[in-house]
Structure formats: structure tokens, C-alpha cells
Structure 1
Amino acid sequence: MPARRTAAASAALGLAPLALTALAAAPAAAHGSMGDPVSRVAQCYAEGPESPKSAACKAAVAADGTQALYDWNGIRIGDAGGRHRELIPDGRLCSAGNEEFKGLDLPRADWPATGVHGGAYTFRYRVTAPHKGTFTVYLTKPGYDPAKSPAWDDLDLAHPVATATDPVAADGFYTFSGTLPERSGRHLLYAVWQRSDSPEAFYSCSDVTFGGGSGGGASGGSAPAPAASAPTERQIEDGSGRSSAEHHG
């Protein structure tokens, strides 16, 4: 992994996996989210659901409550079957139209972002239940306004930046390669994981800032994310950090 990363990526791929591993026994309806570039929900979870550090994550908790963050791996549509655009309305992409996650759709330009640049990129998708299927990652078009909730027309759907079918999961991540085009400023990556053994699909939004350093992964961008503080495994075990499994029984 590249040595230079934003605090967001460091949180999701350093501190956070310890907590996320402890949630590997989450219910069957919860399976994963983008870890690098870190998704909104994974970043907010890593900051700590009960006391997130960034203003955007605080606003998401105010809108949804904390349980949405404990359910970080469950932004999904059970019967999607490839009908993503048909089922998810504009402005609701980050929540996939799920009311539980509506705080992730808040229109604001200060979501914690991973610094990136054009060129090869290695994506890492945090998974708690592996399944066969295809990952497709889209980037917003030039002129994207990060202060608005993304719509389908904001994405360059004709040119996904990464597509991977049945990658091998290792150490809790699916890892696959893609290529980012040249962009400037803030943009959004939208990941769709469509299972082939079920109509179920999973979705995530990752905020990025173009203009960072060396390639293959995240680097210091113009809007680095704050340091994270995820619940520890002890907190999860003793109940002071609530898992999705505990919530759903």
C-alpha cells in the first residue's frame, strides 16, 4: 500500500478494520462498503458513531441517528437486479434510497475526502460476506457541484473508472484496479456491487479531491479528512459500541 494517505484512508484501512473485523458476524443483509477511497459511511463510522469528528458526519448522525453508522455495510437493495437507476432517485444515490441512511445524501461540500490524482488506482472494498458479482465504480463528470446531492446525470456512466467481476477477497477486502481520469477539485466516486448469485446490490459514495501526490492510491489532497476514532473491539464486546447484529437481533 502506498505510504502516503489522507487521514480518511488511514482511518478506514488502519484503525477502522480492527473494529470492522469485529463486526464480521453482522446479519446476512449486510456485506460491505468501499474502504479505499473511503466511503462516507465507513469514514463516519471510523470517526466514532457516538461522537464523529467532522461536521458532515455530525450532520449525518443528526439526520439518521447513530445506528446507520453501525450498519455501515448495509447500504443495499435486495431486489435490485441491475435496475439501479430505476430504483434509486436522483439526490438519493449515497443512501441508495434507504431512509435509514438519508444523512449520507446531505448536500454539502465538506464531506471528508481522499486525495487522488489521474492514473492507475487500486480500489479496496471492505467486505464482511463475500459473494460472486461485479463491482462497477463511476466518477462524477467535469463541472460536478459537490455542494449538491449527486444525481445520476452527474456520473459519467458511459466510462466507469473500474469494473471487476468476481475478484478474490483477501484479508477482508476485495482489491481491484482501475484508472482515474484527469480532474480537478472535489468529485465523487459511486461504487455499485451487483451480486450474480442474487438480485441484491450494494452501493457507496466516496468523496475525493484531485490534485494529490504519487500514484496508485490516496495521497494528501486539498481537503484531508480528520483523524478517526472507531469503537474498539472491547467496546463492541461489552456493548458500549453497538454492532448491526446487536441492533437487528
Structure 2
Amino acid sequence: MAVVGVMFGSLVSAGTAGAHGAALMPGSRTYLCYKDGRASTGQIIPQNAACKAAFDRSGATPFYNWFAVLRSDGAGRTVGFIPDGKLCSGNATVYDFNGFDLPRADFPVTHLTAGASIQVRYNKWAAHPGRFDLYITNSSYNPSQPLRWSNLNSQPFSSVVDPPHSGNTGSEEAAYYWTARLPSGLSGRHIIYSVWTRSDSTETFYGCSDVVFDGGNGQVTY
């Protein structure tokens, strides 16, 4: 498995309908699997085993639309709205992201240090005002089991409204950004769960970012 830095800059060439954004740092499952699988020809040919399993379940379309894990009727709802086992797909209805709900411990992972401050970057494929909330899994989380709401701490460890942003919409490098302090006392593999709630509509975006707390500084292992 190769360890690489988070990279931005390529332009998605397909499937832009319904596209809005997803976490770049720490990278969401959909984004990092897109990065893992996109070949020089533009085809999706996953190299990571978990990304390949997601591809076999849901096909290439959700990879090209890594920025579209959303519910148009979400209105910021979480528990009781998105079913257990469907958190990473957001139970989305526009594209089939169900492959990203697979309970696996080998999705691409971002290496982090518990208690450290990081610059969160969240892609703005389309710009919207709203609130970002980041949650972290608790000690009950087991990567081999479907992700449930009870596996997440009930309160976000980072929240921000209308953070600054840079870059031109419709590209990977376009992003909202803010500084977040990671929870302390964590080790091993976890999921950072993001909820982006638009303030100008009921549209809400959901996403899982696989991380491991091992003293890392944002490196990604595919």
C-alpha cells in the first residue's frame, strides 16, 4: 500500500449533475475512492480492495459523483432520518452510494494525531451557505460492522457556519476551509462523519471520512 500526500487539481470529467461537495481533508470515502480508481484514461479502475467492493456494488457513477452524497429533503436531519447502516451513503436517492456503506477496515484512510489541530477542507463543487458539523466515532465503533448512529458521539467536535473558501467552483481544489481541533485520547481507526446543512434550502450533504489516529499529519494510505 502506498502512502501519499493529499493532492488536488484534477477536474472531474463526468457526472456533474447534482454535484455540490464532500470532504477533501480528511478525505471522504467517495473522494478517496475516486482518487484511487481514476485511471489515466478517465475510467474508474479501483486498486484499493474496499473501493473495488464499492464499485462492484454500485458501479462507476457514484465515483464520478463523489461530491453528491446528499438528500434534497434532509433539512439537517440525522438520527431517525438516515437509517443505521446507511450513514456513509446518506441513504441518497439521486445516485447509488450504497457500496460506500460496506463495513470494511480497508477503505483509504487519513493518518491523524489525536488532540491536534487540522485544516479541514471541504470541496465546493457548487457554493452554498450553511453549517458544517463534524462528528467522531466512539469506542463502540467496529469497522467490520455497519455504521450506526450509536457509534458516533452525539455532539460534533467541530462546527462552523459559512467558513471562508477559495478556488473556482466545479473543480477539486475549490474548498471551504477552517481549523478544527481533533478530539484527544483517541487511537486506531475511526470515522469522521460530516453533515453540511444548507441555510438556503433543505438540501443536506453527508459523508464518511476514514481516519486512523497514529501520530500522522494528514497522509493518505490507499
Smaller-chain TM-score range?
A: 0.7 to 0.9
Q: Does 1:136 align with 2:133?
A: yes
Structure 1 equivalent of residue 171 of structure 2: none
1:126-171 Cα deviation digits (max 9, x unpaired): 111111000000000124211112110100122x121110012202
Tell me what 2:157 maps to. 161
Q: Which amino acid aligns with 2:105?
A: A
Contact 2:76–2:196 (8 Å) recurs in 1: no
Partner of 2:79: 85
Find the residue that maps to 1:205 and give its secondary structure: strand
The answer on whether the counterparts of 1:77 and 1:201 sit within 8 Å (CA) in structure 2 is yes
| Whole-angstrom CA distance in 1 between matches of 2:84 and 2:195 | 15
Deviations 1:192-229 (Å, cap 9, x if unpaired)? 0000000100111000011124xxx414xxxx523xxx
1-side partners of 2:182 and 2:143: how far apart? 18
Runs of 4+ in 1 over 6 A off after TM superposition: none
CA RMSD across the alignment:
1.9
Q: How does 1:95-174 map to 2 (within 5 A)?
A: 95-98=89-92, 100-118=96-114, 119-158=116-155, 160-171=156-167, 172-174=174-176
Q: Does 1:43 align with 2:29?
A: no
Which has the larger helix fraction?
Answer: 1
Task: Supply the distance in 2 between the matched residues of 1:205 and 1:17 (Cα, whole angstroms).
Answer: 22
Q: Using the TM superposition, give the Cα deviation of residue 80 of structure 1 relative to its aligned residue in structure 2, in angstroms.
A: 1.0
Matches within 5 A, 1:1-249: 6-7=3-4, 10=5, 13-14=6-7, 16-20=8-12, 26-27=16-17, 29-49=18-38, 50-98=44-92, 100-118=96-114, 119-158=116-155, 160-171=156-167, 172-181=174-183, 182-213=185-216, 217-219=217-219, 225-226=221-222
Secondary structure at 2:79's aligned position in 1? Answer: helix
Query: CA–CA distance in 2 between the matches of 1:58 and 1:95?
Result: 16
Distance in 2 (alpha carbons) for counterparts of 1:122 and 1:147: 29
Q: Is the 8 A contact 1:141 1:154 kept in 2?
A: yes
Contact 2:132–2:195 at 8 Å: present in 1 too? yes
Structure 1: give runs of 5+ residues left out of the alignment: 1-5, 227-249
Q: How far off its partner does 1:180 sit? A: 1.1
**CA shift at 1:86, angstroms?**
2.5
The amino acid across from 2:178 in the alignment is: F
Whether the aligned pair in 2 keeps the contact of 1:212 and 1:218 (CA below 8 Å) is: no
Cα pair 2:21 2:122 within 8 Å, conserved: yes
Per the normalisation by structure 2, the TM-score is 0.87
* Total equivalences in the alignment: 206
Distance 2:99 2:90 in 1: 11
CA shift at 1:37, angstroms? 0.7
Deviation at 1:32, TM superposition (A): 0.6
